[in-house]
């Protein structure tokens, strides 16, 4: 554990808590032209929390994840990762821009992102995909990065495929490779955006099984998913987003067994 991990954090009231704050998003807004997609979304996760983000198509789930790692720039609000707040300044057009690009680049290397569409580099083998950022962005020695990558590929069951190109893998194998690639940077927080939505049904289980293992390892994760049964099993907290606001949130038992809002009730029954 590094120093930041062990930092004692103050909660919203200024009381000291001894559970390290892994990620704190405050009052995030995002507008695309006239379309306000996020209207003040906040989230706070301690080390080891697994937050499941659920909601209908177009509710702003992907935009929220993309704002966390600044793939999209929020219009307002703040993102803090392990105590470090991303510095933003007004862009002069009613939005925000990074005040410190190097800080954003550095913080991005602490966030492991897994996309619905895998996004592996097609011209690289599985192993090359996994070592690319550690070697060429983080400057790790190649042999060390390869050793780490091989360990990760064993964990996701892909060691035998390390020299294969993505086009020769199934969707489930590609997504497991993408997870290994995201883990290779030793991220503080893993962000999953519907990691199984693009998979044939028979391949969903192998990917959920890998994500479930990670969830049980005290890893901090934010997981956008439509797999309600899985979310019920692995999440420590569930957030239901509707129209860019949090309509309801709580522990998985409460959200799935005793939803309060009519919209959430409908959403849950529509997905089963």
Residues that bind Mg ion in the complex, under the rule CB under 5 A: 61-62
Instruction: Tell me which of 57, 258, 269, 270 binds ligand ADP, using CB under 6 A.
Output: 57
Report how far residue 179's alpha carbon sits from residue 195's, in angstroms, rounded to the nearest whole number: 9
For the chain, how many residues are written? Answer: 272
Instruction: Tell me which of 25, 37, 50, 180 binds ligand ADP, using CB under 6 A.
Output: 37
Q: Compose the 187-216 pattern: x for residues touching ligand ADP by CB under 6 A, - for all others.
A: ------------------------------
The answer to whether 112 contacts ligand ADP (rule: CB under 6 A) is no
Q: Count CB-CB contacts under 10 A for residue 269.
A: 9
Number of shown-chain residues binding ligand ADP (CB under 6 A) = 11
Report how far residue 196's alpha carbon sits from residue 171's, in angstroms, rounded to the nearest whole number: 9
Report how far residue 249's alpha carbon sits from residue 37's, in angstroms, rounded to the nearest whole number: 19
| DSSP characters over 124-167 | S-HHHHHHHHHHHTS---HHHHHHHHHHHHHHTT-GGGTTS-GG
At closest approach, how far in Å is the CB of 65 from Mg ion? Answer: 8
Q: Which does 258 bind (CB under 5 to 8 A by kind): ligand ADP, Mg ion, none?
A: none
* Pair 51, 228: CB distance under 8 Å: no
Residue 133 or 239: which CB sits closer to ligand ADP?
239
Q: Which does 1 bind (CB under 5 to 8 A by kind): Mg ion, ligand ADP, none?
A: none
The residues binding ligand ADP (CB under 6 A) are: 32, 35, 37, 55, 57-63
């Amino acid at each position: 554990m590094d120093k930041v991990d062990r930092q004692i954090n103050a909660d919203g009231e200024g009381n000291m808590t001894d559970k390290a704050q892994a990620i704190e998003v405050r009052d995030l807004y995002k507008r695309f032209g006239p379309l306000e997609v996020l209207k003040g979304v906040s989230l706070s996760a301690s080390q080891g929390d697994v937050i499941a983000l659920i909601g209908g198509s177009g509710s702003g789930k992907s935009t929220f994840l993309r704002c966390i790692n600044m793939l999209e720039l929020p219009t307002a609000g703040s993102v803090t990762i392990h105590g470090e707040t991303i510095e933003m300044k007004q862009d002069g057009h009613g939005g925000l821009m990074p005040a410190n690009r190097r800080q954003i680049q550095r913080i991005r290397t602490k966030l492991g992102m897994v996309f619905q569409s895998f996004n592996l580099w097609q011209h690289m083998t599985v192993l090359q995909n996994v070592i690319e950022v550690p070697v060429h962005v983080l400057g790790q020695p190649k042999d060390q990065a390869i050793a780490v990558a091989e360990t990760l590929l064993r964990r996701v069951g892909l060691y035998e495929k390390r020299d294969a190109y993505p086009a020769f893998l199934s969707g489930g194998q590609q997504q497991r490779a993408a997870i290994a690639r995201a883990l290779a940077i030793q991220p503080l927080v893993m962000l999953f955006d519907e990691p199984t939505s693009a998979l044939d049904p028979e391949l969903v289980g192998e990917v959920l099984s890998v994500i479930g293992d990670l969830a049980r390892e005290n890893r901090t994760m934010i997981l956008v998913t439509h797999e309600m049964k899985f979310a019920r099993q692995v999440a420590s907290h569930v957030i239901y987003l509707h129209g860019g606001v949090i309509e309801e949130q709580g522990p998985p038992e409460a959200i799935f067994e005793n939803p309060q809002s009519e919209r959430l009730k409908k959403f849950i029954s529509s997905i089963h």
